[in-house]
Structure formats: C-alpha cells, structure tokens
Structure 1
C-alpha cells in the first residue's frame, strides 16, 4: 500500500534507524556552539521526527521544543520523550512560535525534503526568526553529489525489530531524476503485526541536493550575520566530493 511520506513509517522508524548516531551529532553541534561562545540553554529542534536528536539535546541539559510536519512522527516522539519537552506540528516553511531560542537545529538531511531554493529559503527565514540575537542555527544537508549518489548500489535493505519484538523487513531503493534534479527513494517495509501476520507499505521520499554555493545566498537573504559550512566530524571545509555538509549560522 502506498502511503504519504513519514506516516506509516513512523511506527517502525526508530527500529530501522537504531544505529543513527544522534548522540555524536549532538556533541558535534554543542561543541561548536560552546567554542563559539554560546552556552545554549534553550533549543528548537526542527523536523524533530520521533525525537531521536531532541532527546540528546534534552540529555545535554537544554530545554527543548520540537516541531515536525508529520502528526504520526510527533505522536511517536510524544511517547518516547518526557512531558517537559514541548512538541508542535508545523511546516518548516511557515511555522510560528511565540518564543525565540538560543539554538535551532534541523538534522538528518531534513531540509533536503524542501525541493526548491525558494522553499529552503523560507525555512531558513523561519529558523532565523526563532533565534534570539547571537543564537545559532545548526543543520545538515546532502549536497547535489550526496543526493545523486545516495547509497552504493542504489539500495539498502535489512531486518530490524520493534521494541516489542516484531520483525521489520525493509528494502529502500533510490534513483536520481536528472530532469527534476531530485533523488527519489521508494521505502518499502514489511512489518509483522501483533497477530502474527504481515502488513506492507511503501512511501516515496524526494530530496533535492544543495551545495555550499546554493546555500550561501539563501543564508544571507534569511538574515544570518555569518556562517560556516563544514564537514562532520572534524569541521573541515567541504570539498567537491563531500556528500553532506553541516551549516552553522549565527543570528
């Protein structure tokens, strides 16, 4: 059954993504923040999904507000996070909260789901609007190369288990639509249900790659005072062969 992006996937997302190094990403971001003179106490985690990165910010002692466009993903986050974390449903391009934050984050190439520079620019403006003066935006994006060559062999597959022991078989295939300059992932999952049967679904996910040269004018137009675009985990300048970059932009 074909489902919209980040709907059916929410129930098995954490099982499939169990190896994602959210803890190391949080250390990477917070180390950069501290080295830049910002001791953040509040954070806004955009595209928070099921709350993997949100939880690491909370563990680091920050008061965190998470925002995501998927009600299904937010529902899972609500189950796994303590009540002290505020969660909201909102579009990255248009969300509006009545507060500003020391730190705004958006990780795991979530911004690549915005398929035009105009959409990405709108999201960057909203992020900037929710930063206090001197605050920091930290986000990662797949480059054009990263979207074209997402996975070796253009597929990943495997077996995972949900916390209650049910099997999840997944096969995700990727192709690059050169005319649209968009990478397309067909995410197929076969999930064991509680009665011992199986449920199947497919979601289509689309991403556009953005290089540093694409990002810099958008950051300037969004009103950021200065920024740095680097590689993970050593903060090195990206090269033409870098598949994913991290952006640190100061309000």
Structure 2
C-alpha cells in the first residue's frame, strides 16, 4: 500500500537506520562551533524525524527543540525523548517566535525540497530563527549524490523491531533525468509475529533534488547570510567536483 513520505516509515525508521552515525554528526557540528568560538546553549533541530540528532544534542547539554512536518515521526520522537519540546512545522514556512544559538538539519533532509525557491525559503526561515552570531549547520546531497545515491541503486536487509517482529526492507533508487530528481521507492514488510498476526507491507516514494556548491552559495546569499563555509565530512576539507554530499556552516551576523 502506498503511503505519503515519512508516515508509515516512522514505525520502522529507527530499526533500519540503527547504524547511522548521528553521534559523530553531532560531534562534527559542535566541534566546528567550538573551533569558531561558539558555545551554543539552545538548538533547533529541523526535520528532526524520530529525534536521533536531537538526542545527541541533548546529551551534549543543549536545550533542544525538534521540528518536523511528519506527525508520525514526531510521535515516535516524543515517546523516545519525553522531556524535549517537539513541534510540527514546514521547513519553508515555520515560525516559532524565538531564536536559537544553533539550527541543524541533517541527513539530506533539505534535498526533499525539490521545487524552485523552496530551499531559499527554508534558509530564510533558518536565518530568522538564529540568534545574532548563531550557527546554521546542514548537509545536502549534490547533483552527483542524487544521481548516484547507492552503489547498485538498491539497499535491503532485515532488522528486528521492538516487540519481537522483524522488518524486511528493499529500497530502490533511480534518477529521473527529465526532472533532475532522485526517486527512492521504499518498500517495507513487517513480518507477522507468529501468533496469528499477518505481515504488513507499505511503500513510500521519496524525491530528492541535488544542490551543488555554486547554487548553495547563491541561495545562502539570497537568504541573507554573509558568512559561510562548505566542507566535506568528516575532515572539513573543501569539496571536490565529484563530492556526493557537502556540509554547510553559515553564521548570522552578530549585529
């Protein structure tokens, strides 16, 4: 059964993504901030999903607010981190009426903004929610990264779920050259528990648009940022022409 992106997936997301290095990403972001002379105390984690980066930022001592457009993802996040504030919101239009020392958006979430102007809108909202001197940190897949997302254009496996069930997943990727979009079809089957429950199946289709460094620089400038650095993970090196994913650190002016 077809579902909207990031809805049915919430139930199995953490099992499938158990190996993702959110802890290292948090350290990467906070180390950059420290090297820049910043010691953030508050953070806004955009497209927070089930709260994986949120959890790591909280563990580092930050007061974190998580925001996501998916009610299903936020429900899981709130159950995992009951002391954290989670709010629904659209990356293009959110308004929380407060500012933060740090704004984050990781795991190519901004690539889901596929229409002209949408990423600029999101960057404008990020800047509006940064305190003076605050830092925006995000990663995006480049055009190369969106065209060549996975070797062999598919990934699959079986992972255990809480409660004794397993999820079998098979995700396939193709590149839509006419629209210049990556298309991921995420198929999941939640196995029956052996006590009479039948297997459940669902499919979500996700689209990503790649953003190269020159495009990002234009959009950052148009969004009002004057200072930024675009680097590779994990060594902060300048991106190469064939880099599949880049990290962006942009600062709001202090006055």
TM-score (ref. length: structure 1): 0.98
Taking the TM superposition and a 5 Å limit, the aligned residue runs for 1:95-110 are 95-110=94-109
Structure 1 position 192, deviation (Å): 2.2
Which of 155-164 and 132-141 deviates more? 155-164
**Which segments of 5 or more consecutive residues in structure 2 lack a partner in the other structure?**
none
* Aligned twin of 1:216: 217
* Aligned twin of 1:78: 78
Indicate whether 1:155 and 2:158 are aligned: no
d(CA) in 1 for partners of 2:118, 2:215: 13
Tell me, what secondary structure is at the counterpart of 1:94? coil
Indicate whether 1:135 and 2:134 are aligned: yes
* Aligned twin of 1:37: 37
d(CA) in 1 for partners of 2:111, 2:93: 16
d(CA) in 2 for partners of 1:178, 1:164: 42
Q: Count residues with an aligned counterpart.
A: 250
* Aligned twin of 1:232: 233
RMSD value over aligned CA atoms? Answer: 0.8
- After superposition, give the CA deviation of every residue in 1:70-124 in whole Å (9 maximum; x if it has no partner): 00000000010132x1100000000000210000000000000000340000000
d(CA) in 2 for partners of 1:117, 1:142: 16
* Aligned twin of 1:94: 93
Which of 74-83 and 136-145 deviates more? 74-83
* Aligned twin of 2:184: 185
d(CA) in 2 for partners of 1:161, 1:242: 33
Tell me, what secondary structure is at the counterpart of 1:150? coil
Tell me, what secondary structure is at the counterpart of 1:87? strand
**Which segments of 5 or more consecutive residues in structure 1 lack a partner in the other structure?**
none
d(CA) in 2 for partners of 1:246, 1:163: 33
Structure 1 position 193, deviation (Å): 4.5
d(CA) in 2 for partners of 1:32, 1:116: 30
Indicate whether 1:9 and 2:5 are aligned: no
Indicate whether 1:172 and 2:171 are aligned: yes
Structure 1 position 8, deviation (Å): 0.4
TM-score (ref. length: structure 2): 0.97
d(CA) in 1 for partners of 2:211, 2:246: 9
Tell me, what secondary structure is at the counterpart of 1:74? helix
Structure 1 position 161, deviation (Å): 0.9
Structure 1 position 162, deviation (Å): 1.0
Structure 1 consecutive aligned stretches of length 4 or more whose deviation exceeds 3 Å: 193-196
d(CA) in 2 for partners of 1:105, 1:190: 32
